[in-house]
Structure 1
Amino acid sequence: MSNDPVVLYEVEQGVCTITLNRPRVLNAINREMKSEFVAALAKAEADADTVVVVVRGAGRAFCAGVDLKDAAVNPWDHTVAGWRWHLTGCLEMCTQMWNLKKPVIAAVNGHALGSGCDLALAADLTIAADTATFGEPEIRGISGPPGLFMPWVAGMKRAKELLFFGDTIDANHAERIGIVTRVWPAQDFDEGVRQYARRLAKVPAVALALNKRTINKTFEIMGLRNALDFNTEVMISTNMSKPAGDREARQRQIAEGGLKAMLQKRDAGHE
Structure 2
Amino acid sequence: MSDQDVLLIDNPAPGVRRLTMNRPEKRNALNNPLRKAIFDAVTDSDRDPEVRVTILRGAGPSFCAGYDLSANNAVDQPYYTAQGIWPWSRQVVEGWFRMWDLAKPVIAQVHGYCLAGGSELATACDLVYVAEDAKIGYPPTRLMSPPDMQFHPWMMGMRRAMEMYLTGDAITGIEAAQDGFANRAFPADRLDEEVVKVAIRVAMTPSDLQQINKRSVHRAMEAMGMRDGLRAGTELQALAFCTESSLEYRKQFKRDGKSVSGLLSQRDAPFGDYRETGKTAADD
- Check whether TM > 0.5: yes
Matched length: 264
CA distance in 1, matches of 2:239, 2:142: 17
How big is the alpha-carbon RMSD for the aligned residues of Structure 1 and Structure 2? 2.3
| Distance 1:33-1:92 versus aligned 2 partners, 3 A rule | farther
Higher helix share: 1
- Asked if 1:140 corresponds to 2:153, the answer is no
Return 5+ residue gaps in structure 2 as ranges: 78-82, 273-284
TM-score by length of 2: 0.85
Change (3 A) 1:245 1:179: closer
Residue from 108, 114, 117 that aligns with 2:116:
114
Question: Which residue in 2 is equivalent to 1:188?
Answer: 190
The answer on whether the counterparts of 2:138 and 2:147 sit within 8 Å (CA) in structure 1 is yes
Deviates most, 7-16 or 157-166: 7-16
Q: Which stretch of structure 1 is more off in the superposition, 32-41 or 240-249?
A: 240-249
2:92 aligned partner: 90
The answer to whether the 8 A contact 2:8-2:22 is kept is yes
Query: What amino acid maps onto 1:81 in structure 2?
Result: G
Give me the TM-score of the superposition, normalised by structure 1: 0.89
Question: Structure 2 CA distance, aligned partners of 1:75 and 1:203?
Answer: 38
Aligned to 2:8: 8
Distance between the aligned counterparts of 1:48 and 1:82, measured in 2?
41
Q: Name which of structure 1's ranges 48-57 and 190-199 shifts more when overlaid on structure 2.
A: 190-199
Q: Quick one: distance in 2 between partners of 1:69 and 1:146?
A: 18
Question: Superposition pairs for residues 1-271 of structure 1, below 5 Å?
Answer: 2-3=1-2, 5-11=5-11, 12-71=13-72, 81=84, 83-84=86-87, 86-242=88-244, 245-252=248-255, 255-256=257-258, 258-271=259-272
Q: Check whether the contact 1:122–1:149 (CA below 8 A) recurs between aligned residues.
A: no
1:265 aligned partner, one-letter code: Q
Partner letter of residue 260 of structure 2?
A: L
Alignment CA distance shift 1:111-1:104 (3 Å): same
Q: Measure how far apart 1:92 and its partner are.
A: 3.1
Aligned-pair CA distance for 1:220:
0.6
The CA distance in 1 between the partners of 2:193 and 2:247, in whole Å, is 48
Moved more, 205-214 or 7-16: 7-16
Shift, 1:177, TM fit: 0.7
Distance of 1:75 and 1:45 partners within structure 2: 24
Q: Is the 8 A contact 2:18 2:55 kept in 1?
A: yes
